[in-house]
Structure 1
Amino acid sequence: MPDVLLASCAAATGKDEDEPLLLAALAAEGVSAAPADWADDGVDWGAASAVVVRSTWDYAPRREEFLAWARRVEAVTRLANPADVLTWNTDKRYLRELAAAGVPVVPTAWAEAPDDVATALERWPGDVVVKPVVSAGARDTARFSPAEREQARAAAEGILAGGRAVMVQPYLDRLDAEGETGLVYVDGAYSHAFGKGALLAGGPLGEGLYAEEEITSRTATPAQRAIGDRVLAWVAERTGRTPLYARVDLVPGDDGDPQVIEVELTEPSLFLTTDGGAADRLAAAIRRRIG
């Protein structure tokens, strides 16, 4: 049994570009590691010194099963990130807490019942984005123009019918030119940043395991770093844990100032390929955690 198991899923086999870099970096640290499907009942998770959640990208349709697995693993070995952090982070209503704490978050309306949908959709006159509060890889997410409010309503009601609450956000026009900026943190310390092209040129993103993205290396601005650092400090205080890994995704608001669109603590791609030292930093942090 390897020292560390990287929790993945069968559908992600060969698709996680972070995985080979992390395996090689762990080997250089003297730590043996291997991927394993979180849904495989034959895996002896407790035999590993630690389990690191990585490409469990199929968890969203069976979130409760995934969280139950995380609690079982945590009962027999170290789990990063911990089960209580995964529970909190896999429902995007955590953004309400961030906004209440004064962190600049993309304006969001929430629909938790069919009667909430019309009010949420009417909040902004322009294009809106409709997505579920439980989702991975931008699945079941779509952008709708003002002329497509009926389609937006149908999409929202379909998400609700499937047992998930809905979030509605204005589409931020600066995204088309500037895209998103992701800030990656390892063991609470800033590691690197990357750029992500705009996904929502039109149409839903719901058919594959994840949406294909245009990723580039990027240097975070001081304003972006300030928000990312603030979010990480808040997360540590809120959860009582310093996460092994975290990703803070930022988008430009109408005034160009960065806003948080997501805080990824569960199974984010960390885009280790965009920074030459990123895999080494993550591997060293894992080694430190297992002693």
Structure 2
Amino acid sequence: MNEQSYSATRAGARVALVTCAELPDLDADDQSLIPALAAAGVTAVPAVWDDPTVDWPAFDLAVVRNTWDYPRRRAEFTAWAASVPHLANAADVIAWNTDKRYLRELERAGIPIVPTTWLDPGDPTDVLDTLDAAEIVVKPAVSVGSVDTGRYRLPEQAGLAAAHVARLQEGGRTVMVQPYLADVDTDGETALLFIGGGYSHAIRKGPILTGPDVGVETLYQEESITPRTPSPAEHDLAARVLAALPFDPASLLYARVDLLPTPSGDPVVIEVELTEPSLFLTTADGAPQRLAAAVVAAVDHAARP
């Protein structure tokens, strides 16, 4: 297939922007991608990942966006991803990234992460009594948007924290227990966004955890988002994270590296979002167009024999 054929394929391309039933029309930020793709000659259609009527092979590319209901059905979600002919990010990336135990691999590769105690179903919770922290965070290893996540003061809320751990374990979920890094209350969290293998923009996320998890069922929790210029140390750590991934960073349509501040001033990784991260496209001039260009490139790549 020659370059002229690629252009013809691209001009008539149809792309699925994959979402969930609770957000059938996408969230407002990702809706900005539709006109950006239209300007590039590509028709973008929201499609719900678990809708059995969707003909995934009919799309030139499926781009995972607001699939925020997968944590309780991760096996089903990763099986769906493996069944889609052309998916971004790819199914093997999704399988690796939808369980935060990937952080252990990054830590072994020398990446500084938030110190984490991992508790599998059946593990005793008395380890909470040995933690040297004024406050801790309890969350499941498979989660999105701070859902099922709580913040606890020690020792007075240790019982609530243990109950939270037990509740997650009883649901068959691996639990992460981390010290609460209080500098986030003033400095916020930094998320660096990469599109098409290159740095695009960054944002500040305000603190969101205010206390214990109260078991409210929700798709995600709202966050306070503002543009941010990352420090050299944050840029450096994000680059190290991408280099440590078990995938070629250039093959990723998008990536988000979330960092927290520490008392020493050195950032640490809290998450690396390669599956369905909010990309905060509307916070940065040109970001929807940059993602649209990366999607067009991915469509062309998928069309090659």
TM superposition score normalised by structure 2: 0.90
The within-5 A match list for 1:17-96 is 17-73=28-84, 77-96=85-104
Shift, 1:65, TM fit: 0.7
Any conservation in 2 of the 1:121–1:153 contact (CA below 8 Å)?
no
Counterpart in the other structure of 2:179: 170
Moved >6 Å (runs of 4+): none
Aligned to 1:12: 23
Deviation track 1:125-157 (CA, whole Å, cap 9, x = no partner) reads: 310000000001111000001111111001001
Shift of 1:16: 1.2
**Unpaired segments of 5 or more residues in structure 1?**
none
Q: CA deviation at 1:203?
A: 3.0
Q: Distance in 2 between matches of 1:204 and 1:12?
A: 24
How does 1:127-138 map onto structure 2 within 5 Å?
127-138=135-146
Distance 1:121 1:45 in 2: 50
Q: How does 1:1-291 map to 2 (within 5 A)?
A: 3-14=14-25, 16-73=27-84, 77-120=85-128, 122-146=130-154, 147-204=156-213, 206-235=216-245, 238-240=246-248, 242-291=251-300
Aligned mates of 2:148, 2:176 — CA distance in 1: 11
CA distance in structure 2 between the partners assigned to 1:121 and 1:276 by the alignment: 48
Report the AA paired with residue 230 of structure 2: A
Q: Are residues 283 and 121 of structure 1, via their aligned partners in 2, closer, same or farther at CA, if it must alter by over 3 Å? A: farther
Letter in 2 for 1:144: Y
Structure of larger gyration radius: 2
Offset from partner CA, 1:37-68 (integer Å, 9 cap, x none): 00100000100000000000101111111111
Q: Is the 8 A contact 1:143 1:171 kept in 2?
A: yes
Q: Is the 8 A contact 2:17 2:63 kept in 1?
A: yes
Q: 2:3 aligns to what? A: none
Kindly provide the amino acid, as one letter, of the partner of residue 263 in structure 1. V
Post-superposition CA distance 1:186-221 (Å, at most 9, x none): 122111000100011223274311001000011111
Q: Which runs of 5+ in 2 are unaligned?
A: 1-11, 301-305
Identical aligned residues as a percent:
51
Deviation, 1:118, is: 1.9
Given that residues 249 and 261 in structure 1 are in contact (C-alpha distance below 8 angstroms), is that contact kept between their aligned partners in structure 2?
A: yes
Q: TM-score, normalised by structure 1?
A: 0.94
| Cα drift, residue 116 of structure 1 | 3.8
* Residue identity opposite 2:144 in structure 1: A
Q: Say how many residue pairs are matched.
A: 286
Aligned partners of 1:5, 1:121: CA distance in 2, in Å?
A: 48
